[in-house]
Amino acid sequence: MYKVFGMPRNRTMRVLWMLEELGAPYELVAANPRTPEIVERNPSGKVPVLEDDGVVLTDSIAICQYLADKHGQMTAPAGTLDRARQDGLTQFTVDEVEGALWTAAKHKFVLPEEHRIATIKDTARFEFEKAMSSLEKRLSDGPYAFGEKFTVPDLLLGHCANWAAAAKFELPGGAVGAYFDRVRARPALKAAVKNNVVEAA
């Protein structure tokens, strides 16, 4: 059984959602970043962490792609042109979509106060908007980014859309808005939320 360390309210949700999509059994160990149980598994103190067969894996994107490859679902096979295009969209999601959201979050509550710049939120919003225009040009006719198949970058983009909504970034309407609605309505996401309620300490 997979063991997931982290909290559903942060990037840990990507791994929980992924495991629900795959129908794989897992256990969530609720743990905040930088706590001893995380630092002993990930020197940067970040979550999520996944333990598979006692082996520790870090970084949500790498974990999700590993799970997709291992289970042979939600991914094009490695070494194919389709996979290269899929990985390109994953990288775009990390750099341009998550990058804008993470910049805003770091300067709101992650960095030590003396290193925060409050006005950076305007820059983050500008970058997020720019990323949304690029995404519109990258999407297929749907229902998902590469057509009928729901793949790893769809899940990551759906997670970023939820993150953006929670952080009060404006989500686009039109084709991208409709795409986000489809991804965020996945039953596996609803199951990941329902099955991993963590009481506030």
Ligand X SMILES: N[C@@H](CCC(=O)N[C@@H](CS)C(=O)NCC(=O)O)C(=O)O
Q: Which of 101, 139 has the CB closer to ligand X?
A: 101
Is residue 28 close enough to count as binding ligand X by CB under 6 A? no
Of 42-50, 74-82, 121-129, 132-140, which part binds ligand X (CB under 6 A)?
A: 42-50
Q: Is 161 left (phi over 0), alpha (psi -120 to 50) or beta?
A: alpha
Contacts of 77 (CB under 8 A, 6+ apart): 83
Q: Which of residues 52-91 bind ligand X (CB under 6 A)?
A: 59-61
| H helix intervals, the chain | 12-22, 36-39, 60-71, 81-92, 99-105, 120-138, 152-166, 174-184, 187-194
Is residue 159 close enough to count as binding ligand X by CB under 6 A? no
Extract the tokens encoding 159. 């997670």
Tell me the closest approach of the beta carbon of residue 159 to ligand X, in angstroms.
Answer: 10
Q: Which of 60, 65 has the CB closer to ligand X?
A: 60
Is residue 143 close enough to count as binding ligand X by CB under 6 A? no
Q: Which of 73, 103 has the CB closer to ligand X?
A: 103
User: Rounded to whole angstroms, how far apart are CA atoms 123 and 129?
Assistant: 10
User: Rounded to whole angstroms, how far apart are CA atoms 8 and 129?
Assistant: 26
Q: Kindly state the greatest CA–CA separation across the chain.
A: 47
Q: Measuring CA to CA, which residue among 183, 163, 185 is closest to residue 175?
A: 183
Of 46-54, 72-80, 85-93, 142-150, which part binds ligand X (CB under 6 A)?
A: 46-54
Q: Which residue in the set 29, 56, 78, 110 belongs to the binding site for ligand X (CB under 6 A)? A: 110
Is residue 156 close enough to count as binding ligand X by CB under 6 A? no
Is residue 8 close enough to count as binding ligand X by CB under 6 A? no
Is residue 116 close enough to count as binding ligand X by CB under 6 A? no
Is residue 33 close enough to count as binding ligand X by CB under 6 A? yes
DSSP reduced 3-state for 112: coil
Q: Which residue in the set 41, 45, 71, 143 belongs to the binding site for ligand X (CB under 6 A)? A: 45
Enumerate binding residues for ligand X (CB under 6 A).
10-11, 33-34, 45-48, 59-61, 110
